[in-house]
Amino acid sequence: SQQGEEDPQALSIQEGENATMNCSYKTSINNLQWYRQNSGRGLVHLILIRSNEREKHSGRLRVTLDTSKKSSSLLITASRAADTASYFCATDAPYNNNDMRFGAGTRLTVKP
């Protein structure tokens, strides 16, 4: 089964609104990353958060990590139409860092 599971599967909002996507995972992790994928393109790294960190920011992005709940969230503030893409979380395992797992992603649509 997939390690990371994003929720919701799809999200549609208006420009200027905030978008929150969640990622849950089943086993302990070392690192968690969020990636973005535009349609028909490769993944682009957004933020890395390590298991001993709780929150990280990058521009309009804020990522939180709650290891007790085995979940992470990605918040995009003041969304823009150009933020329309799929967002994936990925995790690796402390016992085998080659065991990297991605979820199926959240499809975000930002309407102008």
Partner 1 sequence: DTAVSQTPKYLVTQMGNDKSIKCEQNLGHDTMYWYKQDSKKFLKIMFSYNNKELIINETVPNRFSPKSPDKAHLNLHINSLELGDSAVYFCASSQVAGGLADTQYFGPGTRLTVL
Q: Which residues bind partner 1 (CB under 8 A)?
A: 2, 30-33, 35, 40-45, 48, 50, 86, 88, 90-92, 97-105
Rounded to the nearest whole angstrom, what is the least distance from the CB of residue 22 to partner 1 in the complex?
17
Rounded to the nearest whole angstrom, what is the least distance from the CB of residue 16 to partner 1 in the complex?
27
Q: Which residues, listed in sequence order, are joined to residue 87 by a DSSP beta bridge? A: 36, 106
Q: Of 44 and 78, which CB lies nearer to partner 1 in the complex structure?
A: 44
Rounded to the nearest whole angstrom, what is the least distance from the CB of residue 37 to partner 1 in the complex?
8
Query: Beta strands of 1-111 (E only): which ranges?
Result: 5-7, 10-14, 19-24, 31-37, 43-50, 55-58, 61-66, 71-76, 85-93, 96-102, 106-111
